Structure 1
């Protein structure tokens, strides 16, 4: 039997003039991307709420985090909705922030948030019904313990800062955990047959005495509030340094550190992560449309790479498919 499970969704309205102006003032040419692609608005948040209500009706509450702007469609009177501003839970010395890592790594400070929660992003949509036990079973998170090598790749502005954050996560994990001891204690969780071909990643890392990295599925992740609070107790300087970055920076740590900690302590039930990640371009975005129309996966995420004009075409067609799949208004809409 689980405690109640909440969803946390950070969201930004890229079109809001005040937010854009503050971002420019603090940017000073340091932001990861100058193209605004990171902050393009899909205008489908109402469809996300529909998908959650349809596919995950067992959710206790949804905590929508913003810097203060309220979506026009949102029914603030819905008892299952908690609207949270940054200044309600993020320490004032970190504000304003345009760094998703700062927003996510302070979530444990949100009042009334359940111990068990699922961290979503607004580009992740469930397409099929998902049982609560997929995320939490007997109050343990559902996850997969799969190792992976952190590859630097080619130097791309933004990507290198992401890699720094991954390495920062691993410095903390290897400081507190011995890989051989962790895997020996929970051998069946590390070498679970349910992982399928992803086991090959862990086998390829067997000769490393330290954890070289973990496989990070870009899906909604089950987490515990107490885990994040514990990380702040143990590593206040590291988490403080990252939280002070107005934009993503080389001293960041990320939400995946919470996953890694839960995995290394054995506080999880092994299962294979379901879903499909898309990186659509104007030439490939129809794959996303087809996946939605055919309900081909339990969950999908899509992170576009395109020009503004191409984005509008992709947005139109992908949103039309989501609208067709979830035509009924949710209780979160006025």
Structure 2
């Protein structure tokens, strides 16, 4: 049977127990606002609609694995067989790493989820599947559907000096360093580098990567639901397990983090993907009402994914306004309750 699961982490920032745990570990990190800001954990009420969008638009899914820290959404029917709540202590091999408040540390342990299917789609709780999709949007010939496009601008020390990049930028650079030091030079097949769905610009930069650079300086990413193979992540962990275990111990975001995109890059350089570059996703860092309105305005009939990512620079006041507008939008798009929602909860 061709099973495909969905996996996503979620946190309830209003949970008093969770806030108490976080405050007891936060002292050594208080200077790094990118790591400890409440905005890193804000919940705009999208989780319910993310799950509704999966059931409505990917009805072929096997199970949804919801990763939490001893938290359960009050609307979730725990008797459902299609949503499995996974506590951190059920996936971290070293329980001394817990509690953890860093999504990257969680992502170092995805392959440890019990009974997770080999094919799964990883997403965040702000990513909505907007239209109905077939399995082939995510997997073809048992491989993740993905694309290889090298970046034009390396995020090196000069770039970092000119722009104050966040920890996510450091985590990606750490991945590229890890790969270049251990896996270069790369031998990537032409059909992965020059697929007909790639633009001419994509093919030019891939040619430069393959023939001139010979190292990865930056990779283009799409920020929407990402297909993975559990077996491929296990292969990655067999080679880089020590590095993954170190990051698993970072309770908060840290400049030494890696990124879950390393599983994607591992597939790309090893040819374990079906090449096709779709342009069906919208995302932006929502830092104002205007940026939210612009994102919504750009949604059209060809949009399959929308990521409503609120920036840490979105003020608390505008955050409340954006949240209300967003919930209203999603209620109109997905008005019907999912089968795994409690019927007496509004």
Q: Is the 8 A contact 1:179 1:211 kept in 2?
A: no
2:9 equivalent in structure 1: 10
2:206 equivalent in structure 1: 202
Q: Is the 8 A contact 2:144 2:227 kept in 1?
A: yes
Question: Equivalents in 2 of 1:303, 1:156: separation in Å?
Answer: 24
2:305 equivalent in structure 1: 299
TM-score under structure 2 length normalisation: 0.89
Give the total of aligned pairs.
329
Task: Please report how far the alpha carbon of residue 310 of structure 1 lies from its aligned counterpart in structure 2 after TM superposition.
Answer: 0.3
Deviates more, 1:150-159 or 1:263-272: 150-159
2:291 equivalent in structure 1: 284
Task: Please report how far the alpha carbon of residue 236 of structure 1 lies from its aligned counterpart in structure 2 after TM superposition.
Answer: 2.2
Provide the alpha-carbon RMSD of the alignment. 2.1
Q: How does 1:144-293 map to 2 (within 5 A)?
A: 144-148=147-151, 149-151=153-155, 153=159, 159-180=165-186, 182-183=187-188, 186-196=189-199, 197-203=201-207, 205=209, 207-273=212-278, 274-280=280-286, 281-291=288-298
Q: How does 1:23-62 map to 2 (within 5 A)?
A: 23-28=22-27, 29-33=30-34, 35-62=37-64
Task: Please report how far the alpha carbon of residue 325 of structure 1 lies from its aligned counterpart in structure 2 after TM superposition.
Answer: 0.7
2:114 equivalent in structure 1: 111
Deviates more, 1:28-37 or 1:93-102: 28-37
Task: Please report how far the alpha carbon of residue 204 of structure 1 lies from its aligned counterpart in structure 2 after TM superposition.
Answer: 5.4
Question: Equivalents in 2 of 1:311, 1:250: separation in Å?
Answer: 27
**Aligned to 2:267, what secondary structure does the other structure show?**
helix
Task: Please report how far the alpha carbon of residue 179 of structure 1 lies from its aligned counterpart in structure 2 after TM superposition.
Answer: 4.4
Task: Please report how far the alpha carbon of residue 17 of structure 1 lies from its aligned counterpart in structure 2 after TM superposition.
Answer: 1.1
**Aligned to 1:289, what secondary structure does the other structure show?**
helix
Q: Unpaired runs of 5+ in structure 2?
A: none
1:133 equivalent in structure 2: 136
**Aligned to 2:174, what secondary structure does the other structure show?**
helix
Deviates more, 1:225-234 or 1:71-80: 225-234
TM-score under structure 1 length normalisation: 0.92
**Aligned to 1:222, what secondary structure does the other structure show?**
strand
**Aligned to 1:313, what secondary structure does the other structure show?**
helix
Question: Equivalents in 2 of 1:275, 1:219: separation in Å?
Answer: 7
**Aligned to 1:230, what secondary structure does the other structure show?**
helix
Q: Residues 138, 283 of structure 1: CA spacing in aligned structure 2 closer, same or farther, 3 A cutoff? A: same
Q: Residues 243, 113 of structure 1: CA spacing in aligned structure 2 closer, same or farther, 3 A cutoff? A: same
Task: Please report how far the alpha carbon of residue 171 of structure 1 lies from its aligned counterpart in structure 2 after TM superposition.
Answer: 2.4
2:125 equivalent in structure 1: 122
Q: Is the 8 A contact 1:32 1:248 kept in 2?
A: no
Question: Equivalents in 2 of 1:287, 1:157: separation in Å?
Answer: 25
**Aligned to 1:193, what secondary structure does the other structure show?**
coil
Q: Is the 8 A contact 1:114 1:225 kept in 2?
A: yes
Task: Please report how far the alpha carbon of residue 211 of structure 1 lies from its aligned counterpart in structure 2 after TM superposition.
Answer: 1.8
Deviates more, 1:196-205 or 1:58-67: 196-205
Question: Equivalents in 1 of 2:302, 2:39: separation in Å?
Answer: 27
Q: Is the 8 A contact 2:60 2:135 kept in 1?
A: yes
> CA offsets per residue over residues 25-74 of structure 1, 9 Å max, x none?
11111554354211111112111111111111111100000001100000
Task: Please report how far the alpha carbon of residue 101 of structure 1 lies from its aligned counterpart in structure 2 after TM superposition.
Answer: 0.8
Question: Equivalents in 1 of 2:176, 2:90: separation in Å?
Answer: 30
Question: Equivalents in 1 of 2:164, 2:253: separation in Å?
Answer: 8
> CA offsets per residue over residues 140-194 of structure 1, 9 Å max, x none?
11100111144255569983432221122112322443345x23xx101211120
1:90 equivalent in structure 2: 92
Q: Is the 8 A contact 1:278 1:300 kept in 2?
A: no
Q: Residues 17, 217 of structure 1: CA spacing in aligned structure 2 closer, same or farther, 3 A cutoff? A: same
Question: Equivalents in 2 of 1:238, 1:160: separation in Å?
Answer: 21
> CA offsets per residue over residues 233-284 of structure 1, 9 Å max, x none?
1122211111111111122111100000011110110011330112222222
